[in-house]
Amino acid sequence: MPFYQKLGEMPRKHHIWFSRDGAGPGYRNEGIYYEHVVTTEGFNEAYSIMYHLRPPTRVRNVKLLKCEELKKVTDSPLRHHHLKTANIPRKGDLYTGRIPILFNQDVIAYRSRPAKAYDKFEYYKNGGADEIIFVFKG
């Protein structure tokens, strides 16, 4: 039996018309909330249903980000390393300026020092993998 956690206002059933009574017109004057189902394991596992004021599905473009070829250091002795990542030159934006620092068969750790400012209207979603982005400054 699935468990449910409710935060805020929700419709009585999933996937039905959810009116925004008294909240004014919607994105295109429909006066509704837009449903967004989020899952990483398919619909047989846990998933979330979120409701938005504007449609969450609008995609302006899709592009493949190029991944640099990873080069393994051959038979390096196991020792401590001081990774001076603050000395990495600035290049590209948050995503195109990524440089791989460490990797193994399961994960790649990148460092990015963007040369150009992030456009507040430009959003990014990795469609093919899990990703964690840590922002130190900015």
Full pLDDT tens readout for the chain, 138 residues = 566 778 888 888 887 778 776 555 566 777 788 888 887 777 777 788 888 887 776 677 777 777 778 888 877 778 888 888 888 899 888 778 888 888 888 888 888 888 887 666 566 667 666 777 777 775
Q: State whether 78 and 19 are in the same domain.
A: no
Instruction: Label each residue of 36-55 as H, E or C.
Output: EEECCCCCCCCCEEEEECCC
Q: Which of 58, 75, 100 is the last residue of a domain?
A: 58
Looking at the structure, do residues 34 and 65 belong to the same domain, yes or no?
Answer: no
Q: Do 14 and 78 fall within a single domain?
A: no
The pLDDT of residue 120? 64
The three-point CA angle 58-30-40 to 5° equals 40
Statement to judge: residues 27 and 68 lie in one domain: no
Residues 6+ apart with CB under 8 A from 49: 14, 35, 36, 37, 38
Element (H, E) at 34: strand 34-38
Same domain, 14 and 74: no
Q: What are phi and psi of 86, to 5 degrees?
A: -70, -20
Q: Are residues 80 and 35 in the same domain?
A: no
Domains of the chain: total: 2
The pLDDT score that the predictor gives to residue 90 is 92
For strand 108-112 and strand 48-52, is the pairing parallel, antiparallel, or unpaired? unpaired
Residue ranges making up the domain that contains 31? 1-58
> Are residues 52 and 115 both part of a single domain?
no
Same domain, 137 and 82: yes
CA 18, chain centre distance (Å): 26
Same domain, 15 and 68: no
* pLDDT on residue 121: 57
85 in helix, strand or coil?
helix
Note the pLDDT of residue 27: 66
Give the amino acid at 71.
Answer: K
Residues 44 and 80 in one domain: no
Q: For position 104, what pLDDT does the model report? A: 86
Q: Is 55:34 a contact under the CB 8 Å cutoff?
A: yes
49 & 16 share domain: yes
The per-residue pLDDT for 23 is 56
Domain boundary among 15, 41, 58: 58
Q: Which two tokens stand for residue 81?
A: 């390393």
